[in-house]
Amino acid sequence: MENRLKLFEQYCYSSMKAQNKKDFEWLVFFDKTTPQIFREKISELSSNFSKFIPIYADGMDDFLPSITREIKNRLTEPYLITTRLDNDDSLHQDFVKEVHSQFSKQEFRVIDFVDGYTLQVAPRVRFGQHSHVHNPFMSLIEKSENFKTIWTQERHGYWRSVKEVTPVRGKRLWMSVIHSENKANEYKGYGNVAKSAIDSFNLNPQALENFKSNAENLHLNRAGAFKHKLKTNWKVNFKLLERRLFS
């Protein structure tokens, strides 16, 4: 857990703390068996950022019920927006602002920012563009009465079968982070991306220094990047066409 908490602090926590729009509450769920030494660190992070609210759930079976309980206890408005965010990924500093800009009193509407970046931090350091329809950064706008939350679909890919999804293109607002403990994902970045593009994700100083010192030039693997771009664009265009036909 020590390394996971370090990744959380370096990439996820730092990007949330730097959001330009502060009108949100960030509920972060931990297991109630989390050792005291890590609870103390989590408490320190919370004291330094009031929007970060740690919640301790009783295992995975209690995860979804605890989301409902915690949100219900905090609801004060007629509409609710919930966003999915994994604990090792990052958001652009304008992400919350852009989600709010999509709000128009919708009864039930998912906002899917299709375009983002991907950053590999180990064993190599690589940074590139990436796009993903039905990705793990989607937000659900809904009425507060009988709310569902973005977790009504436990896997983000399941939103493929739901009509009420709005894909938004052209703004790269998220960054998936690939690391040595991230077994399910692999680096699929492409494009000639300036290192400065990462600045809007507000990595903590240690992570930013590691990136700027060790990031590879994308030209070192043009063939791989080109393959990732072709495959990604094909998948994105197919899913967007499928959604237009489905809707």
Provide the residue ranges of all domains of the chain, joining segments of one domain with +: 2-246
Confidence of residue 222 (pLDDT cuts 50, 70, 90): confident
Confidence of residue 157 (pLDDT cuts 50, 70, 90): confident
The whole-number pLDDT of residue 191 equals: 92
Could you read off the pLDDT of 53-104 as tens digits, one per residue?
999 999 989 999 999 999 999 999 999 999 999 999 999 999 999 999 999 9
The whole-number pLDDT of residue 85 equals: 97
Q: What class, spelled out in words, does domain 2-246 have in CATH?
A: alpha beta
The kind and range of the H/E element at 177 are strand 174-178
Q: Is the pLDDT of residue 247 over 80?
A: no
Give the closest residue to 168 by CA, choosing from 190, 193, 138, 191: 138
Q: Which residues of 3-37 are buried (b: 16+ CB within 10 A; e: fewer)?
A: eebebbbbbbbbbbbbbeeeebebbbbbeeeeeee
Percent of the chain residues topping a pLDDT of 90: 84
Could you read off the pLDDT of 112-135 as tens digits, one per residue?
999 999 999 999 999 999 999 999
Work out the burial of residue 187: count CB atoms within 10 Å of its CB; fewer than 13 is exposed, 13-18 middle, 19 or more buried: buried
Cα distance between residue 218 and residue 189, in whole Å:
9
Q: Is the pLDDT of residue 183 over 70?
A: no
**How many Cα atoms sit within 13 Å of 43 on the Cβ side?**
7
What is the 3-state composition of the chain as percent helix, strand, coil, each rounded to the nearest 5? 45, 20, 35
